[in-house]
Amino acid sequence: MVAAFADGTAIGLAFGYALPANARWWQGLTTPVDKGFTDENGCRTFALNELMVVPEWQGKGVAHALHDDLLGGRPEERATLLVREDNDAAQNAYTRWGWRKIGKLQPYPDAPNFDAMILPLRVES
């Protein structure tokens, strides 16, 4: 987890976790993907679960800084996230930051549809 502060007040937060072996993350994927794409071993994929910035600080680079701080130096080979398919602002930001859509995912039956995105991560040696 990483957080951003201004004058001692929290203005943003980002967190996630490494997907465990046999992760349920990919259940609900409605788009076909290559064989093995959803295989997890506990250290292959980092799931970015939340990235939020208070409204008055949006558009000032806080989200991008949190994103880079959270993902920088991660040992996993890739990161994934889900973004609502109607969230144009987030979609555009993630695309600018190097993410690519890999398909549609509905995590549970009454959930909205999300775009599943992937970002390759550099593996530190």
**CB burial class (10 A; 0-12, 13-18, 19+) of residue 78?**
middle
Structure confidence by residue, pLDDT tens digits, 20-35: 998 999 999 999 999 9
Domain with 46 in it: what CATH number?
A: 3.40.630.30
Is residue 58 one of the residues assigned to a domain?
yes
Q: Is residue 4 part of a domain?
A: no
Residue 55 lies in a domain: yes
Percent of the chain with pLDDT over 70: 98
Residue 22 has what pLDDT?
87
Is pTM beyond 0.95? Reply is: no
Given a cut of 60, whether residue 125 has pLDDT beyond it is: no
Radius of gyration of the chain (CA): 15
Residue 2 lies in a domain: no
The reply to whether 52 falls in a domain is yes
Q: How many domains, in total, are found in the chain?
A: 1
For 113, the domain range is 11-73+80-120
